[in-house]
């Protein structure tokens, strides 16, 4: 179920548990008063909002305690990795507003790690196992049952040394042998049951080419990389908690003194409702063409949210609100949208757009006349001033804002009633015209010249206010509306269904017949706007001159406030 606690108020008063750990270490003079973190993505996909949570913590801790945070690409599996991902990761971190101190790659340490492996073989702490991965898996045992020792476990050191060297020279097939640490096949921690250190991969690496034929496993690379770099606080998600003893084990064997040992601390990962967060599944969505690339505005990727119109500030505020704990949970997507609304309300200029236009003719307004009406850019931010919007005899309004026979409570346009046209006049609807199919093609109204916005009569009490654009002085546009990508609140739990079966068929609606006010001819890709009464939108980078495309970032309605009341 949704976990919708927020740490907003709490965060102001107290430290999160990781900050408390860092402050304690500092007060005890650990690491010579140094704070160093790292953000360690594997370059095998684009970053998602879960990564943003890790980024805010890794970079945030360094900033707060005058330390440094390095970016380290955990590039130990050449099969899945690519420079495309390296570049996108850098771009996304910078967009979020963080700066790394240095960039490192786990592949920078391949030689050191290899030398360390050789050392462990010589010390009798590692051996080459020639069994198949299936057999090795069968021998693992269970948490309550000890595993079975490999027949290769006690082979002579020279034999392992020779085989490992030849593994790296490319003499053996992938999967034919591995290097394992010789620890304890009966350990209650499964990760200690002779874990794999190296496997053979013949695929070239995006940085080291074909220099290496053996590649270290995560557990044999991560802690040591932290150690080589001088990381003091190695922050990662909870699933690595069970790996921590192994992390410490290798560092203990590697470290030269007791003065320095990087510390791993785990925090809860971010899971959001109605989406998936694993790179493997996101890659599948892209590969199967179920979305339009990594930056599809429906994707939970950083580049997807950027394209959709989310701001870095809103993402950071959201992360601040959810905080860091030791418990995994599910966060309601509505909370993220709430943060986006809060931010865009402050920064997005108000403009008019009509998504489903129908013509409104002001029959007593002179033909050919154009009045430039004053439109306030942002009532939340008066210094942004105002712009002009053209008012003419022929306008467009939303089709759904008119009803020929309306119930009493319909405070929009209907014959015989008054309604206000935003920033312009009060008008009275006089009727409409329909085609043979019964569809409304034109609506008629008369304006009251004494009610122009700003005149005393304009204060007359009128229940409804509608947005509109001039028929002649407006631009055609496409508007893309987005809904949740998945139908299910937690798609990852639906193990018996294929990814494509879980998708919301209505997640994208493209409206191609929209009209927007002239002011938007100056819009640049990614610019934010509030379309009056409709929501927040941004200009999609696919727009071209004469073909504007807008994305709906979020609607105006806030579901989060409702959710919060229930808590
Ligand atoms: P995925 O499971 O999506 O493939 P990953 O953990 O394999 O993600 P990495 O590139 O290894 O991705 O992650 C880099 C860092 O981001 C790690 O420290 C990881 O703990 C953190 N991270 C990944 N996913 C999340 C998440 N959902 N919430 C918080 N942190 C995350
Ligand atoms: Mg990973």
Do the Cβ atoms of 283 and 293 come closer than 8 Å? no
Atom of ligand 1 nearest to the CA of 54: 30
Q: What is the dihedral sign for C-alpha 406, 409, 413, 418?
A: positive
pLDDT above 70: residue 559: no
- 70 alpha carbon – ligand 2 mean position (Å): 17
Mark whether 307 is an active-site residue: no
Q: Which-ligand-closest: CA of 280? A: 1
Atom of ligand 1 nearest to the CA of 240: 20
pLDDT above 60: residue 440: yes
- 48 alpha carbon – ligand 1 mean position (Å): 9
Do the Cβ atoms of 89 and 41 come closer than 8 Å? yes
213 lines ligand 1 (CB under 6 A): no
Give which of 400, 456, 391, 394 is closest to 424, Cα–Cα.
Answer: 391
What per-residue confidence (pLDDT) applies to 13? 55
**pTM surpassing 0.85?**
yes
Chain segment 28-75, per-residue pLDDT in tens: 999 999 999 999 999 999 999 999 999 999 999 999 999 999 999 999
Q: Which pair of structure tokens corresponds to residue 364?
A: 């007593």
Q: What is the mean pLDDT of residues 243-261?
A: 96
Q: How far apart are CA 428 and CA 397, in angstroms?
A: 14
Mark whether 279 is an active-site residue: yes
Q: How far apart are CA 523 and CA 511, in angstroms?
A: 19
Mark whether 405 is an active-site residue: no
The DSSP-derived string for 110-146 is: HHHHHHHHHHHHHTTSEEEE-S-HHHHHHHT-BTTB-
Q: What is the mean pLDDT of residues 347-367?
A: 98
Atom of ligand 1 nearest to the CA of 269: 28
Residue 387 φ/ψ, nearest 5 degrees: -135, 175
What per-residue confidence (pLDDT) applies to 14? 79
Do the Cβ atoms of 185 and 149 come closer than 8 Å? yes
pLDDT above 50: residue 385: yes
Q: Which pair of structure tokens corresponds to residue 342?
A: 């809060």
Between strands 426-434 and 440-447, the pairing is antiparallel
Q: Which-ligand-closest: CA of 269? A: 1
Q: What is the mean pLDDT of residues 249-273?
A: 96
What Cα–Cα distance (Å) separates residue 390 from each residue in 51, 150, 451?
45, 82, 17
What per-residue confidence (pLDDT) applies to 567? 42
Residue 13 φ/ψ, nearest 5 degrees: -85, -45
What per-residue confidence (pLDDT) applies to 193? 98
Cα–Cα–Cα angle for 26, 27, 28, rounded to 5 degrees:
90
Give which of 412, 409, 449 is closest to 429, Cα–Cα.
Answer: 412
pLDDT above 70: residue 159: yes
CA torsion, ordered 127, 131, 134, 139, to nearest 10 deg: -60
Mean of all residue pLDDT scores within the chain: 95
Chain segment 165-206, per-residue pLDDT in tens: 999 999 999 999 999 999 999 999 999 999 999 999 999 999
- 237 alpha carbon – ligand 2 mean position (Å): 10
- Protein residue with its CA nearest to atom 16 in ligand 1: 51
The DSSP-derived string for 181-217 is: E---TT-SSGGGSS-EEEEE--SPBTTTBTS-SEEE-
Q: How far apart are CA 65 and CA 56, in angstroms?
A: 14
Chain segment 303-323, per-residue pLDDT in tens: 999 999 999 999 999 999 999
pLDDT above 90: residue 546: no
Chain segment 266-282, per-residue pLDDT in tens: 999 999 999 999 999 99
Q: Sheet holding 68-73: strands in order across?
A: 36-39, 68-73, 103-105
Pick from 54, 55, 59, 492 the residue to mutate for probing ligand 1's pocket: most ligand atoms within 8 Å of its CB: 54
What per-residue confidence (pLDDT) applies to 560? 57
Q: What is the mean pLDDT of residues 485-493?
A: 93
71 lines ligand 1 (CB under 6 A): no
What per-residue confidence (pLDDT) applies to 326? 95
Cα–Cα–Cα angle for 87, 88, 94, rounded to 5 degrees:
95
Q: What is the mean pLDDT of residues 336-340?
A: 97
Give which of 63, 71, 67 is closest to 92, Cα–Cα.
Answer: 71
What per-residue confidence (pLDDT) applies to 464? 94
pLDDT above 80: residue 1: no
Chain segment 17-28, per-residue pLDDT in tens: 999 999 999 999
Q: How far apart are CA 310 and CA 337, in angstroms?
A: 9
Q: How far apart are CA 428 and CA 448, in angstroms?
A: 8
373 lines ligand 1 (CB under 6 A): no
What per-residue confidence (pLDDT) applies to 564? 54
528 lines ligand 1 (CB under 6 A): no
């Amino acid at each position: 179920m949704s976990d919708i606690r927020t740490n907003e108020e709490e965060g102001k008063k107290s430290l999160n548990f990781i900050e408390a750990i860092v402050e304690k270490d500092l007060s005890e003079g650990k690491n010579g008063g140094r704070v160093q973190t790292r953000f360690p993505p594997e370059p095998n996909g684009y970053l998602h909002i879960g990564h943003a949570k890790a980024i805010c913590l890794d970079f945030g801790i360094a900033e707060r305690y005058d330390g440094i945070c390095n970016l380290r690409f955990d590039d130990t599996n050449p099969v899945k990795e690519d420079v495309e991902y390296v570049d996108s990761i850098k771009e996304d971190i910078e967009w979020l507003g963080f700066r790394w101190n240095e960039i490192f790659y786990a592949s920078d340490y391949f030689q050191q790690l290899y030398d360390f492996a050789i050392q462990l073989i010589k010390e009798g702490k590692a051996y080459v196992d020639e069994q198949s991965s299936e057999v090795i898996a069968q021998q693992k045992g269970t948490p309550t049952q000890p595993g079975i020792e490999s027949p290769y476990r006690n082979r002579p050191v020279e034999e392992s040394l020779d085989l490992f060297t030849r593994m790296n020279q490319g003499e053996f097939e992938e999967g034919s042998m591995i290097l394992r640490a010789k620890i304890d096949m009966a350990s209650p921690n499964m990760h200690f049951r002779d874990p794999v250190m190296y496997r053979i991969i013949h695929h070239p690496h995006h940085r080291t080419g074909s220099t290496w034929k053996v590649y270290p496993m995560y557990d044999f690379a991560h802690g040591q990389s932290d150690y080589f770099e001088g990381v003091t606080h190695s922050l990662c998600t909870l699933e690595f908690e069970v790996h921590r003893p192994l992390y410490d084990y290798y560092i203990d064997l590697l470290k030269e003194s007791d003065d320095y040992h990087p510390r791993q601390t785990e925090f809860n990962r971010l899971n959001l409702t109605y989406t998936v967060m694993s790179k493997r599944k996101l890659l599948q969505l892209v590969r199967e063409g179920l979305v339009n690339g990594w930056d599809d505005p429906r994707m939970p990727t950083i580049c997807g949210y950027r394209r959709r119109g989310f701001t870095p500030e809103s993402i950071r505020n959201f992360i601040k609100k959810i905080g860091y704990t030791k418990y995994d949970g599910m966060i309601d997507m509505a909370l993220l949208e709430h943060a986006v609304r809060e931010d865009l309300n402050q920064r997005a200029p108000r403009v008019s757009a009509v998504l489903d236009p129908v013509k409104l003719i002001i029959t007593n307004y002179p033909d050919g006349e154009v009045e430039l009406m004053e439109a306030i850019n942002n009532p939340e931010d008066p210094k942004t001033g105002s712009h002009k919007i053209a008012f003419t005899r022929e306008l467009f309004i939303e089709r759904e804002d008119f009803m020929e026979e309306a119930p009493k409570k319909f405070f929009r346009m209907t014959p015989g009633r008054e309604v206000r046209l935003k920033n312009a006049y009060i008008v009275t609807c006089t009727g409409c015209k329909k085609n043979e199919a019964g569809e409304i093609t034109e609506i008629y109204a008369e304006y009251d010249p004494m009610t122009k916005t700003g005149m005393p009569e304009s204060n007359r009490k009128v229940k409804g206010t509608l947005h509109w654009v001039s028929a002649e002085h407006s631009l055609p546009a496409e508007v893309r509306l987005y809904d949740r990508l998945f139908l299910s609140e937690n798609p990852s739990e639906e193990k018996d269904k294929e990814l494509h079966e879980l998708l919301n068929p209505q997640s994208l609606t493209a409206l191609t017949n929209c009209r927007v006010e002239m002011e938007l001819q100056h819009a640049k890709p990614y610019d934010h706007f509030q379309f009056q009464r409709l929501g927040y939108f941004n200009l999609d980078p696919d727009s071209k001159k004469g073909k504007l495309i807008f994305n709906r970032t979020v609607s105006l309605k806030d579901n989060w406030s409702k959710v919060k009341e229930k808590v």
